[in-house]
Homo-oligomer: A and B are copies of this chain.
Amino acid sequence: MKRRDVTVPVLPDGPHGAPDTDRDRLIACAELLFFAYRDFINDPDKVLDEYGFGRAHHRVLHFVNRNPGLRVADLLDILKITKQSLARVLKQLIDEGFIAQRSGKEDRRERLLHLTAKGTRLAEKLANLQIKRIGKALDSAGTGAGEATRRFLFAMIAEKDRDRVEHLIRLPNAPHEKEANAPASSQSQERP
């Protein structure tokens, strides 16, 4: 690729002759979100590839790991995909021994999802990759960045889903200090 030396307006002036910095800052956030997410997804993807899995499998593993006993309906609600989309990856994960189902004790129509030992190993391996990257990023972002970032990300979630997510992530000091409650479905009472 050739390089040209051309001077170019770096920060084009807004309508009033001054840079539209507020807007630019918000747009920068949008672009950063894109790049950050792109790379956030990337380390796990490499590992998943070795198993013949994709991101969809990762998401299922993750949320089942974090919420053992999750029902299929809950997972659908978390992922916001259709039953058929989920079915495909879930079936694979079950067939290959990463996820086990147990019938609900109270409601035997429910299939409560759990990770097997094998599933837990993979889920943790993937989680550790992401945790590592996030940890480093927060360190380099300075004190208070974690708190601020969580608040920002939380506020980016569609209003109607925030309660649900807040319960789901069950963070020690949740974004708005609401009392934490039972995860989406979770635990329940089973486990004989």
Contact = CB atoms under 8 A, between A and B. Distances in A.
Interface of A: 1-11, 19, 21, 23-40, 42, 59, 62, 66, 73, 77, 80, 106-107, 127, 130-131, 133-138, 140-142, 144-146, 148-158, 161, 165, 168-172, 180-183, 185-191
B38 A80 contact: yes
Given A4-B188, A33-B153, A165-B35, A171 B138 contact: no
Nearest to A168: B31
Given A6-B188, A8-B186, A21-B172, 17 more contacts: A2-B107, A3-B185, A6-B187, A11-B170, A27-B131, A28-B150, A29-B153, A30-B127, A30-B131, A31-B168, A32-B150, A32-B157, A33-B37, A33-B153, A38-B80, A141-B151, A144-B144
20 contacts: A3-B185, A3-B191, A4-B188, A10-B180, A10-B182, A19-B172, A21-B172, A23-B131, A25-B172, A26-B130, A26-B131, A26-B135, A28-B150, A31-B66, A35-B156, A36-B152, A39-B156, A142-B151, A145-B151, A148-B148
A158 B129 CA distance: 13
A4 B156 contact: no
A149 B148 contact: yes
A29 B138 contact: yes
A79 B53 CA distance: 22
Contacts of A25: 146, 150, 171-172
Contacts of A73: 1
Contact of A153 (B36, B131, B158, B182): B36
Contacts of A153: 29, 32-33, 35-36, 137, 149
B8 A183 contact: yes
